[in-house]
Amino acid sequence: MKTPSWLLLGVCAACGPAQPPENPASPAGTDSVAAVAPPAPAPVDDFLNPAWFKMARQDTFRVTTRTGPEGGFDLGTGKLIKLTASQEKRYLQGKTRPRAQREIAPYYFYSLQQNTPQRQEITILHDDGEFLFELLRLVYDARHQLISRETVAHFGADGGELTRAYGVFETPTQFRLTALHEGVTGEDSVATQSEIDSVVTLYAVEADKFRQVGRSRYQRHKTKPLGQ
């Protein structure tokens, strides 16, 4: 086997100054380029657990309802996770409520909107213990301090009255909340008459704080044939 010429350079007195090979063999088990250590993993932040949130991220904020097995409204609270007393303290950041009040008017984790080290945004559903369910949007800063709490949707049904509201960011700095209230005004053998009041409220948004800048009211009547 012919000895590689570069190995002879170190022992040849007649040769000129030794030159390193153009492509020396790499040491066994290493690359020719020095290995770069992978970045250290970011610390795990346990402030929010995505598994708590059973509803999809909201683009238009609304309280999802379905027709129940007996004809009423099903809001799916049986599948939602209820906040414990310590979680209410941590995420609502207010006074601790008595146990009886927590049982009558619970809060539920709803949707996870954003979860980054700098900013966290969630929605939770609040049952007022009577007939109204409010969807609250909660925003936290990098220290997990609550910096914004706004009602962005609601749903309620009581006898012949129905109220619902949904909200949407029209731009990053403008939020619109549309609330509808429907009440039965009459009924005969063929149809039900209802009156629908609508209120559209506009808010300017700055640093996640809402400031009302406009409100419009509308009214209309609806006739619904029985059986529909």
Judged against a pLDDT cut of 60, whether residue 27 lies above it is answered with no
* Mean pLDDT, range 98-104, rounded to an integer: 93
Res 38: pLDDT: 55
User: Does the global pTM surpass 0.85?
Assistant: no
State the pLDDT confidence band at 224, using cuts at 50, 70 and 90: confident
Of the segments 32-36, 148-152, 185-189, which one has the largest average pLDDT value?
148-152
The mean per-residue pLDDT over the stretch 172-195 comes to 84
Burial class (CB in 10 A: 0-12, 13-18, 19+), 83: buried
Residue 13, pLDDT > 50, answer no
Q: Cβ neighbours of residue 56 under 8 Å, at least 6 residues apart?
A: 111
Q: Which residues have C-beta within 8 Å of that of residue 52, sequence separation ≥ 6?
A: 81, 109, 112
Residue 80: DSSP 8-state: S
CB 85 within 8 A of CB 157: no
- Mean residue pLDDT across the chain: 82
Q: What single-letter DSSP state applies at residue 52?
A: G
State the residue for tokens 């429907």: 182
Residues in contact with 153: Cβ distance below 8 Å, sequence separation at least 6, in sequence order = 61, 62, 63, 134, 135, 164, 165, 166, 167, 177
- Give the model's pLDDT for residue 6: 34
Average pLDDT over residues 152-177: 93
Least confident span in 46-55, 71-80, 103-112: 71-80
pLDDT of residue 73: 80
